[in-house]
């Protein structure tokens, strides 16, 4: 099993990562059942950008589409952003799609 391209000091750390990865799939472990389904790698792409309050912070603004309340448009934005982020950072993940 590979947990990434890095070196750890011992196997206990790797074991903890594996236990956490498995435990989060158990119903009730995560606060929202959809969380495991909607995260990075679950759809073959990296996750879309996440935003929180306030709407503007240190010159960074939440994209207007996310404040619109239009769920379909928000979903399309998330898919587009996830694909763009994956293309920029991990294009190898898109080769099979």
Q: Do 76 and 42 lie in a common domain? A: yes
pTM: 0.67
Which residues constitute the domain of residue 60? 38-94
Q: Do 88 and 42 lie in a common domain? A: yes
Number of domains in the chain: 2
- pLDDT of res. 97: 60
How far from 18 is each of 10, 11, 13, 50, 51, CA to CA, in Å? Answer: 14, 11, 9, 25, 28
Q: Consecutive sets of 10 residues in the chain, 97 residues long: mean pLDDT of each?
A: 86 94 89 74 85 92 96 96 95 81
């Amino acid at each position: 099993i590979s947990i990434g391209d890095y070196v750890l000091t011992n196997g206990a750390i790797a074991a903890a990562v594996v236990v956490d990865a498995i435990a989060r799939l158990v119903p009730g472990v995560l606060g929202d059942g959809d969380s495991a389904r909607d995260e990075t790698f679950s759809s073959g792409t990296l996750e879309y950008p996440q935003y929180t309050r306030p709407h503007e912070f240190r010159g960074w603004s939440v994209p207007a589409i996310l404040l619109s309340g239009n769920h379909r448009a928000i979903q399309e934005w998330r898919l587009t952003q996830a694909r763009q982020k994956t293309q920029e950072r991990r294009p190898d993940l898109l080769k099979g799609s």
